[in-house]
Every structure is written in C-alpha cells, then in structure tokens.
Amino acid sequence: MLRRARRVSRREFLKVSGISLAGATLLGVSGCGGGGEEGGGGDGEEIVFSWISDDTGVLPELIDEFNEENESGLRVRFREMPSDTGQHFDQLRTEFQAGQSEIDVIGGDVIWPSQFARSEWIVDLSDRFGDQEEFLEGPMQAMRYEGKVYGVPWYTDSGLLYYRQDLLEEAGFSEPPDTWEELQEMARKVTQDAGIQQGFVFQGGEYEGGVVNGLEYIWNAGGNVLEGDRIVIDSPESVQGLRTERAMIETGTAPEAVISYKEDESHAAFIRGDSVFLRNWPYVYSLLGSEGESNVEPEQVGVAPLPVEAEGNQSYSGLGGWNFFISALSEKQDQAWEFIQFITAPEQQKTNALDGSRLPTRTSLYEDQEILDSVPIARLGKETIIENTRPRPVSPYYSDMSLTMAEQFAASLRGSVSPEEAVSNLQRELENIAERGGEI
Ligand code: GLC
C-alpha cells in the first residue's frame, strides 16, 4: 500500500526554514494541506476531505504523505471548515439538508454520530471496520448508533489543566491544585510574585467549548445532566459548579474576557506566557516552544487532571475527539475508506501523537515507548485522563441540547442570570427537547 519515507515534520520544516506556523498560514503554506499542488498520484481520482485548520501542522503533513505515496493514484483535496464545532456542524447540516455536498470524508466531532446517523447523512461502516477491538472503548462507543458503527476514531480529547510548573515552584507550590479553591489561591500568589497578568484562562464563550467547560464545573462539583434518560441538571451540585465558574471572574482569577474565549484565545494567552493556568485539550502541549509563537517552553509546564470542588471528589474531564465518517452523498466510498484506513493506521496516529501531542485512539500506542517518552500527556493519558473522561449527553438531539446549554452557561458566566436560574432554565428546556424528540 504505502511506502513511508522518513520525513521532516511540517513543524520541524517550518522551524528550519524560519517561518512561524502563524506566518505560514498567512502565506498560504498550510490550510489546503496537500490539496492544492499538482503532482504525486498523477491521473488518479480525487476525494474531498473536510476538517478544520490544524494548529499543530500535522494534518497537512499526513495529507501530503498520502497524496505523494499512495499507489492507487488517489488524491485527497482538503476543504477547511470553521474551527468552531457548532458552526462546522451547521455548515454540514445545511449541505446535507440540501442533498448536495462535495465532501466524501468528514472529519467530525465525537458528539455528532448519533445525529448524523439518524439523519442518514453518514454511512454504516460496520462491514468495513474490522479491527474495532483495537480502539479505546470510550471513543468507539461514541461511534455507535442502534448497534451499527458509523465512524473511525482518530484521536481522543480530554480536558486538562496546564500549569506553569516553574512559577508554581518559585512561589513555593510543589504540586498542582487539587481543588478550584486551591487554584484560585495559587493563581493569586503566583500572579503577584511573577508579575504575570492572568491567573487562569479557559473557554467561556457561548459555543460548544463553553458547554464542555460548564459541564466540567458541574461534574467536578458532583452534578450531572442526565441519569439514564432523566434530566437531573437542576441540583445544588450543578449550582455550585456554575457558581465556581463565575467566581473565577469575580475573584479576578480569570480575566473578564474569558466570556468570549474559545480554544485559540485561551491557548494563545498561555503560550505567550500571560497566564499561570489554562484549561485546554492535549494539542496545546505541541505548541509550547514553537518559534515565534510561544514564549513558554515545554519544560516550564506541567499537566494535571482538572481540579474538583472539594478534596476527594473524582475529577472528570469532557470527552472530546475527532473521527472519520463517510458522507452518504459520496459516490467514492471505497476511495474514502482507503484514505480513512491510512490516516487512522498506527503509524499515522503515532505521528499525530509525536508532532501534534494528540491522544491516540488505538490502545496499543499507549505502550509505545517513543510516545510515552516524548508526549507526557500520553503518560498521563491512559490511567488518569482517559478513565476520567465523561461524554456529553449522547443523543440525536444533542445539537439542540448544546445550544441551550451554551446559552445558559454563558449567561451565568457573564452574571446575567444566576447559577440557580441557569440550571432551572436548563432543566425545563432540556426536558422540552426530550419531549419533542421522544427520547434523549
Ligand atoms: C475539541 C474536542 C471536541 C469539542 C470541541 C469544543 O475540538 O475534541 O470534541 O466539541 O473541542 O470546542
């Protein structure tokens, strides 16, 4: 199938040539990774693969590799989608509802399969996908709908606490915080001692990432959204979770601006060296130390599970991750599968782990010494992180549930509704969605 030559990674290449990743994007070096240039497969067919622009630079590298080295002559053209998951989802939904899309392979969020499968926008992969047992159970479960499998997991995501180990040590703290209260205290001392602007940054915007952050505060205070198929969000624990999130701003631990932050704004503040703590996904680790973009080196940073409300509570992180689906409108489903097999193979997942600091979905890679040595998040990965991840509610109506959670969590964080009102509004609205849909 593929001959894999040793290649300089795109990140290394850009470093060697002195171009920063941000500059490269402006110059158009990235974005359409691999799709734009001629050559490689020659007269082969083309398939269209849609995903977001990859901050880590790994995806263009892998697409180029596929285009240059696959023997069937198939070429993949990359189509860039909005990096905000909700906007990304809306764009796909518009195309599918119109029955028209050029996309063959969809790079899709872990929260989409039930809705996409129920709407028949993606195809059942059960007959093609033979090695399912080699993948982690959490991400695999998210790919199933009514007993069939609709996607192949690429990498899995888990919310993490990044912290400035160097500054914590200088301020006399030898361990990261276990509770949100400790985080606030440490942030107060370290910002003063080190003269750093911000204590903590996270994703507080009114969008999908804000939903995951809000849920993490609720879960880490002992609350939940669903119990079986019952909505249970209106609880004192959920109120406490949202109160703690709001307190981050009230106490000045987080800047007021977090109410509009998504992944990019929050990681930018941290890698610039402007914040002591950051809640984000594993990819941020690979951005540390990149020339022209980061003032913070990986050696200065520690990574830990998210803090909890009270000592002894279990720490939960939101399960995220990206997967490959085949569009039901595609006339090139065999070719789409050929590309999916390539990009989810152990070798490509390993590249994604080493160069993109992303958690593999193939279980065996958690025993790969090279990954364990160079990606600290993978060491943390299997035991502490992956087992602590919790899925967002799995439902064909998730996109509606998400919109209402995004709205209420953001309003509570801004202080325009109280945490009590937010969870009681959510209880009512989520119950309405469940009633309308008949099930959750
Ligand atoms: C990450 C996660 C994804 C989540 C998104 C929210 O990309 O992998 O599951 O929905 O962040 O912003």
Residues forming a β-bridge with 308: 179
Q: What does the pLDDT read at residue 438?
A: 67
Exposed/middle/buried for residue 62 (C-beta within 10 Å: 0-12, 13-18, 19+) = buried
Closest by Cα among 235, 240, 213 to 224: 235
Domains 10-157+319-390 and 158-318 agree in fold: yes
In b/e form, how buried is each residue of 96-111, taking b as 16+ CB within 10 angstroms? beeeebebbbbbbbbb
Closest-CA residue, ligand 1 atom 3, reads 320
Q: What does the pLDDT read at residue 268?
A: 97
Token pair of 274, please? 């402007």
**What whole-number distance in Å separates Cα of residue 101 and Cα of residue 392?**
28
- Residues 32-83: tens digit of each pLDDT: 333 333 333 345 799 999 999 998 999 999 999 999 999 899 999 999 999 9
* CATH architecture of the domain formed by 10-157+319-390: 3-Layer(aba) Sandwich (3.40)
**What whole-number distance in Å separates Cα of residue 271 and Cα of residue 39?**
37
Torsion angle in degrees (nearest 10) through CA of 24, 27, 33, 37: -140
Sign of CA dihedral 416, 420, 423, 425: negative
**Is 209 close to ligand 1, i.e. is its CB under 6 Å away?**
yes
**Is 261 close to ligand 1, i.e. is its CB under 6 Å away?**
no
Give the residues of the chain that fall short of pLDDT 50. 1-42
Closest-CA residue, ligand 1 atom 5, reads 209
Q: What does the pLDDT read at residue 43?
A: 56
- Residues 358-412: tens digit of each pLDDT: 999 999 999 999 999 988 888 876 666 677 899 999 889 999 999 999 999 999 9
**Is 281 close to ligand 1, i.e. is its CB under 6 Å away?**
yes
**What whole-number distance in Å separates Cα of residue 239 and Cα of residue 33?**
45
Q: What does the pLDDT read at residue 291?
A: 83
Atom of ligand 1 nearest to the CA of 203: 12
Exposed/middle/buried for residue 431 (C-beta within 10 Å: 0-12, 13-18, 19+) = middle
User: Domain segments of the chain: what residues?
Assistant: 10-157+319-390, 158-318
Atom of ligand 1 nearest to the CA of 84: 12
CA of 110 to the centre of ligand 1 (A): 8
**Is 81 close to ligand 1, i.e. is its CB under 6 Å away?**
no
CA of 248 to the centre of ligand 1 (A): 22
| Residue corresponding to tokens 């980061």 | 294
Contact 34, 66 (CB under 8 A): yes
* CATH architecture of the domain formed by 158-318: 3-Layer(aba) Sandwich (3.40)
